[in-house]
Amino acid sequence: MFFVRLDLRLHRKIVVIDGEIAYTGSLNLVDPRYFKQKAGVGQWVDAMVRIEGPAVQALGALFLWDWVVETGQDIKALMETRNLKTAPQVGSANVQTVPSGPGSKSDTTHQLLLASIYAAHSELIMTTPYFVPDESLLTALLSATKRGVNVTIILPEKIDSMLVRYACRSYFDDLLTAGVRIICFQGGLLHTKSITVDGEIALFGTVNLDPRSFWLDFEVTLSVYDPDFGARLRALQLRYAEDTQSVDLQSRQKRSARERFFENTARLFGPLL
């Protein structure tokens, strides 16, 4: 037990009903009106998606995998008592269920994120509560603006970690200079993790844009190839954008030396956040 890591976290949120319907997204099983109210961030703002079809089986299997890891129960015995029948296709959306975590042999979600950014032709909109990009993610975003993609990042104005807040803001100057639009949500702690690419491709799930989500937490992402779902998710993102305040480079240049120091210091801890 001495050698067991204590910083690993099961961050997936999965509900599977009768093997036919599933939900996933950013919502924890807690009343957002009361969750971490002492943190002074307001109500947590989340989103979930309802899923039918073959993707339900994938989420159910992922849940069973997590259950076996935690309990040590026999996976074969569990599968015999669970209904994991393949659900029929009920719509036109192509959905890939992409799990990630320390148990994976590759950084699939991180590579999927980078591929999606590089695939953007005209527009990229991202929402995340925690934004601490590694070098490859930062380079992908800066490259997107250089090829004419309109990049918008929607972040909460307040979050429940001061260290992450300062680390996040240390990247603002580079992004703003490159033409990335950064807007801060004023209506609470925006906890939705979503990306839309050209309004047609969508990534949605539990992954924050930080090293912890990429390499330490057990996460799940839905990669959805469907213009209708992409349009709906983009509409939600734009509703978030209505209650925001833009971050501009001119105001950033007026921040105090104390704030600059805290940002630069917090950035040093970025790989650990």
Active-site residue list: 11, 13, 18, 191, 193, 198
Q: Which amino acid is at 173?
A: D
Class of residue 253 by CB neighbours under 10 A (exposed 0-12, middle 13-18, buried 19+): exposed
- The span from the CA of 86 to the CA of 58, in Å, is 9
8 A C-beta contact, residue 273 and residue 163: yes
- The span from the CA of 273 to the CA of 265, in Å, is 13
Beta strands at 9-10 and 244-246: parallel, antiparallel or unpaired: unpaired
- The span from the CA of 148 to the CA of 120, in Å, is 10
> Tokens 């996460």 correspond to what residue?
219
How distant, in Å, are the alpha carbons of 1, 133, 213 from that of 273?
A: 24, 10, 9
How distant, in Å, are the alpha carbons of 93, 110, 230, 256 from that of 124?
A: 20, 16, 11, 31
The tokens describing 197, both together, are: 């690419």
Compute how many other C-beta atoms are within 10 angstroms of the C-beta atom of residue 112. Answer: 18
> Tokens 């590694």 correspond to what residue?
134
Q: Bridge-partner residues for 151, per DSSP?
A: 124
